[in-house]
Amino acid sequence: MTDQNRIFYPIPRSHERDQILSAAATSVSNIYVKFSETQTLLAKALKWVPPFKLQITYPEGPRPLVKKPISIQFTCLGEKYFAQAFTQDTGEHFFLVIEGPIYKVQRRQSFRLRLPSDYPVKAQLFEMNGHKMTEPIKLLDISEGGCSLQVPPSLAGSMGSFIGLNLKIGSRAQFTQYGHVRYLKAEKQFVRLGIKFDQQTDLNSD
């Protein structure tokens, strides 16, 4: 937990959390709702209803019925956040029920956390240059501005390649990130990729 909290700062149920979620609704922030490992849909924040409910527009595209908590992420006032939420569809309005904390991604561009080999982390490459895929890969380290990956040569791409990643770090940090390849280095049977995260995340919805 100590290593995880260096990057992800938890904000528990509090006035601060209410202010952030209220500001997200006031600014009609994009909300990315991860319904499954391969399906993340875009919605807009509309209204924060304390203490638990964030009203959003209906997510764009078909969505599965889910009863367990799902991951959401959003940007508000230049800061990135994610959280776990239940969904509630009244037939007229769509809500995210956020009972626990929200997590702020620490803005330390120069800080990079190296992940031990036994650290509970999962990384999946789901897109490269417009091609969809579901390839498990190894996350070596991560910062607010990018990460390093270990991939087989067949997935190395080239300098400037556009990629989409699903990342799960520890028990709580689960989010989707897009970026570009900025570094390539062959290492025995694998290739090490340096990824620079995009500042603006755009969803490609089919």
Instruction: Please give, one letter per residue, the 3-state secondary structure of 29-58.
Output: CEEEEEEECCEEEEEEEEEEECCCEEEECC
From CA 101, how far away is CA 116, in angstroms rounded?
A: 26
pLDDT at 7: 66
Confidence of residue 114 (pLDDT cuts 50, 70, 90): low
pLDDT at 85: 94
Alpha helices in 15-132, H assignment, sequence order: 15-26
Averaged pLDDT of the chain: 84
Out of 18-32, 100-114, 121-135, 178-192, pick the least confident.
100-114
Residue 102's beta-bridge partner residues? Answer: 11, 83
Residue 2 scores a pLDDT above 60: no
Q: Is 149 helix (H, G, I), strand (E, B) or coil?
A: strand
From CA 151, how far away is CA 139, in angstroms rounded?
A: 9
pLDDT at 20: 95
> Of 153, 113, 158, 115, which Cα lies nearest the Cα of 135?
153
Confidence of residue 111 (pLDDT cuts 50, 70, 90): low
Residue 99 scores a pLDDT above 80: yes
Token pair of 76 as six digits:
């508000």
Spatial neighbors of 26 by CB under 8 A, at least 6 apart, are none
pLDDT at 205: 35
Residue 189 scores a pLDDT above 60: yes
Q: Which of 46-60, 118-132, 144-158, 163-177 has the highest mean pLDDT?
A: 46-60
Question: Is there a contact between 177 and 196 (Cβ–Cβ < 8 Å)?
Answer: no
pLDDT per position as a tens digit, 157-176:
889 999 999 888 766 667 78
Q: Taking residues 112-125, what's their average pLDDT?
A: 74
Q: Taking residues 23-32, what's their average pLDDT?
A: 94
pLDDT at 18: 95
